[in-house]
Structure formats: C-alpha cells, structure tokens
Amino acid sequence: MQYYDNVQFIAQVNTEDSIEGTIERWKAHRDDILHRALTIAVYVNDSILLQKRKHPVFDSVFDITVSTHQIYVNGLLQSDEEAINQTLERELLLAPASLKQKPQFKGSVVYKAKDPKSDFTEHEVCHVYTCAIGSMPLFNPVFAYEVKTVSLDTIKDQTQEIYPHLAPWVKEMIRKGMV
C-alpha cells in the first residue's frame, strides 16, 4: 500500500481544534498525539455508504464512509474541501461533480481509541461532513475491502450485527446525532 508509505504532515491541534504545530502522521498515531481529521458520510438514496477499511490503523472496520487527514502541501494545510475531494476520488473514484450537493459540515467529534490490532491510537478532532450521490459508486480495492449501503436505523441500533464492527469515531458520531 504505497500511499501509506508516503511521508505526510498533518495538523497537531488542541481540544478546541486550534493548530499547535505540524506532525508526521504516523508519529501522531504511534505517540497518541491529538490531531485534526475528517470523515465524510456519503448517502446513497435513503441509505448510508459504509466502507470496510483497508488501512494500517483500524483495518477491517466499517467507516461512514471515508476518513482522512488534511495534509500539508508545500507548507500549507489543505482545506477540508480539498481533502474531501481528494479522498473521494482516491478511494471511491468519485469526482466532485458526481455529488448531488456540496458536502455539508455537521460539526466535530473529539475522541481517542487504541487500535487493538496495531500499535496505533486514533486521537482526533474529526470534522464531520455529509453528502449524497445518486447511485452506488465503484471503490478502489487498495483502500477498501468492500463498500455497501445500510439504513441509518441499522447502524444506529446497537443490537444489529454491524454495530460492533463500526469504527470508534463512527460510534461517537452516532452518539452525538451527527448521522
């Protein structure tokens, strides 16, 4: 997974999401350092698109739909919109023109979760966005094992089979009523 071998710098932040500096992404995850991220929940008709992550951190969990970091490019931090567009194209092969509307900001969640399968910890201020598309997208198998749609009622119901397999940040978003 060559993409994950690339050195990338992300924003180290405090709990108010103010930038305190830059940090290499894997150092942030190894050393449990609070940093900025984003998730975009993609709706397909009345369902939400889940991506089963193929990733060094929280591999094989279901995300709604993709998560990433705003990275520094030539010394400047990407905007959320730039990071969203880049990630949707990279992971779901979706161009911005294929979205029914511009992604909508829903708020942020602050969470911390140790990955039981690796030496990494997610400790993030995660900006949450939603958008909609008209039909099931393709996906890049470098970044996902599968994608599927489920109803919102299903992912919110803790008794459903899918719930224990949701990423920790997804459960926090559900708890806060952001999806």
What pLDDT is recorded for position 1?
Answer: 57
Mean pLDDT over 1-9 rounds to: 85
Rounded CA-CA distance 155/159 in Å is 9
The residue range of the domain holding 84 is 2-175
Over 90: is that where the pLDDT of 6 sits? no
CA angle 95/104/165 to nearest 5° reads 80
Task: Give the total number of structural domains in the chain.
Answer: 1
pLDDT tens digits, 10-61 = 999 999 999 999 999 999 999 999 999 999 999 999 999 999 999 999 999 9
Look at residue 5 in the predicted model and tell me its pLDDT. Answer: 83
Nearest Cα neighbor of 24 from 167, 120, 126 is 120
